[in-house]
Amino acid sequence: MSVPPELIERLRQAGHVVVFTGAGISAESGIPTFRQAQRGLWARYDPQELATPGAFRRRPELVWSWYAWRRQLAARAQPNPGHRALATMETRAPRFDLITQNVDNLHQQAGNARVIELHGNLRRSKCLDHEHPVPDWEQLPGAPPACPVCGSLVRPDVVWFGESLPATAVTAAIAASQSAEIFFSIGTSTLVEPAASLPFLAAAAGALTVEINPQATPFSSQADLVLRGPAGVILPQLMIAAWPG
Ligand code: NAD
């Protein structure tokens, strides 16, 4: 696939580049998207039923063990060429914001210094009742431990279905999207609200919007440019075209 020359030129000249990512960018690192995750041992569990506060209260061992499995997958995974291209992009753009829905920490591992985490991070834990941050420990399947401060159950520090997103991250993501000159929507189905609104906000505020995804999404028809294919292939091509050598 060749990168549109218009995009190369705009990327070189842009003062503010914003990238918004979803589970698809980590697919090439071996981390399944929710739609792909219906395999193997966990195939009979629906993420929409496990990733909720109610599910954790009803079946803490099951939910904690599902997260222990996801955390292990993420801990073994390595950033792929798509993540690495975005780490380089951060060093080239005068102003750069990376907004992610992912909880796998792979952007940070690739070298992106400032990541707006909309849905938390699998590496962190907090307690259920008071959100006391609980220092990192190995998350093993089985019963969740108790908070050392208040004794309530420890849970992953991620946003579950039905919970609000962290206000600071949302404010930063909206501000970045509305002032972007170029806005990339990468590897996200743009179905999970409120994050899914960000590409539309950027488009309404006048950014050049670019979708990178092998499949069509509800945003595809509004994007200025659509690059169909895997992010791990397209992003390195784009970076080489914009900044050869
Ligand atoms: P999603 O599962 O709804 O959609 C994934 C999108 O990625 C799809 O549109 C798919 O076509 C696309 N895709 C697949 N392979 C790709 C590739 N190689 N390159 C580019 N795109 C590719 O994911 P979502 O939109 O992020 O929303 C689901 C929710 O699931 C989010 O809230 C997210 O927090 C959570 N989640 C996160 C992870 C992770 O941290 N890696 C994994 C699974 C789910």
| pLDDT tens sequence across 69-105 | 889 989 999 999 999 999 999 999 999 999 999 999 9
Instruction: Indicate if 119 belongs to the active site.
Output: yes
Q: Encode pLDDT of 146-198 as tens digits.
A: 999 999 999 999 999 999 999 999 999 999 999 999 999 999 999 888 899 99
Q: Encode pLDDT of 190-239 as tens digits.
A: 988 889 999 999 999 999 999 999 999 999 999 999 999 999 999 999 99
Over pLDDT 90: what percentage of the chain?
81
* Residue tagged active-site, from 83, 107, 119, 132: 119
**Choice from 20, 33, 109 to test ligand 1 binding pocket (greatest atom count within 8 A of CB):** 33
pLDDT of residue 106: 98
Ligand 1 site, CB within 6 A: 22-28, 31, 33-35, 101-104, 119, 187-189, 191-192, 212-215, 217, 230-232
pLDDT of residue 138: 66
pLDDT band with cut points at 50, 70 and 90 for residue 42: low
Please state the rounded mean pLDDT for residues 116-138: 90
Bigger pLDDT: 137 or 83? Answer: 83
69 by DSSP, 3-state: which? helix
**Choice from 188, 190, 191, 219 to test ligand 1 binding pocket (greatest atom count within 8 A of CB):** 188
What separation in Å is there between the alpha carbon of 48 and the centre of ligand 1?
Answer: 14
pLDDT of residue 122: 93
What separation in Å is there between the alpha carbon of 189 and the centre of ligand 1?
Answer: 6
Burial of 142 (0-12, 13-18, 19+ CB in 10 A): exposed
What separation in Å is there between the alpha carbon of 148 and the centre of ligand 1?
Answer: 34
